[in-house]
Amino acid sequence: MSEEVQGCFRMMGLAEDATYDEVEAAYEQLAAKYAGETKRLIKLQVAKDKILEERLRQRMSGSLKVSDVFGEDRFVEQKKPLIVLPPFLDRVMELPSKAELTKNSIVFGCIGLLPILAISWASTSVSLGFAASLYLLYNRGAPDTGNDMDAAMRPPKVRPLLLSAGITLLMGAVGATLSQVFYSSLLSFLPQQLVISLFTSFFFGVSATFFKAQED
């Protein structure tokens, strides 16, 4: 299943094994909730269509039963998402896919550990973490063409760019502040620069993984 389809499931608050009936019910509930918001309703309709197209593809490949496609298993208990964001956070947060979470964990983990190679790289680690977080956050939710050059050449939008910068700076400040607290109380046996790098990289990673700046 592509990340785009996984994002459709998250947008509609559905587990990836949701039945046809659950997809329809979620769409009707969200359509009623956002009645009058034409842009959002279009995105919901597109998300529903992509989910049903994915179900059909799975059916054609033999990985899905007919009953799953046409909703005959409506009484079978379905798994629910472990975490569901409250509605008031919908505009600024979005749960990541497993692939996105794994990728960002590796990227920011490596950035945070740079001072192990040389303590003088601590400032480089923070700068790289900020740049990576800003780039990933700004492009999170933007149309994915599969070409990184398209993202680099995409004309900047003022609101998403300012929101991305604000969230990234805020999370970096939180990480730096907490690094001082933990360094003085629990982690004084480690080099201070390494502690700062680890904490700021972690929160930069949180910013790029769980927040979003692109408009719906």
Per-residue confidence (pLDDT) for residue 77, from 0 to 100? 42
Considering the domain architecture, whether residues 120 and 61 belong to the same structural domain is answered as no
Enclosing domain of residue 55: 3-84
Considering the domain architecture, whether residues 118 and 142 belong to the same structural domain is answered as yes
Considering the domain architecture, whether residues 103 and 80 belong to the same structural domain is answered as no
Considering the domain architecture, whether residues 197 and 124 belong to the same structural domain is answered as yes
Q: What is the distance between the alpha carbons of residues 136 and 72, in angstroms, rounded to a whole number?
A: 41
Per-residue confidence (pLDDT) for residue 1, from 0 to 100? 66
Is 117 a domain residue?
yes
Query: How many CB atoms neighbour CB 195 within 10 A?
Result: 23
pTM metric for this prediction: 0.61
Per-residue confidence (pLDDT) for residue 38, from 0 to 100? 86
Considering the domain architecture, whether residues 74 and 176 belong to the same structural domain is answered as no
Q: What is the distance between the alpha carbons of residues 118 and 105, in angstroms, rounded to a whole number?
A: 21
Nearest to 1, CA basis, from 42, 78, 39, 57:
57
DSSP annotation string for 103-167: HHHHHHHHHHTHHHH-GGGHHHHHHHHHHHHHHHHHHTTS---S-HHHHHHSPP-HHHHHHHHHH
| 8 Å CB contact between 27 and 19 | no
Number of structural domains found in the chain: 2
Considering the domain architecture, whether residues 62 and 125 belong to the same structural domain is answered as no
Considering the domain architecture, whether residues 103 and 70 belong to the same structural domain is answered as no
Is 151 a domain residue?
yes
Considering the domain architecture, whether residues 105 and 196 belong to the same structural domain is answered as yes
pLDDT tens for the 216 residues of the chain, in order: 688 888 888 888 888 888 888 889 989 999 888 888 888 888 899 999 988 888 887 777 666 554 444 444 443 444 455 566 666 667 778 888 888 899 999 999 999 999 998 888 899 999 999 999 999 988 886 655 455 554 554 566 788 889 899 999 999 999 999 999 999 988 999 999 999 999 999 999 999 999 988 765
Per-residue confidence (pLDDT) for residue 75, from 0 to 100? 36
Considering the domain architecture, whether residues 169 and 69 belong to the same structural domain is answered as no
Query: How many CB atoms neighbour CB 101 within 10 A?
Result: 14
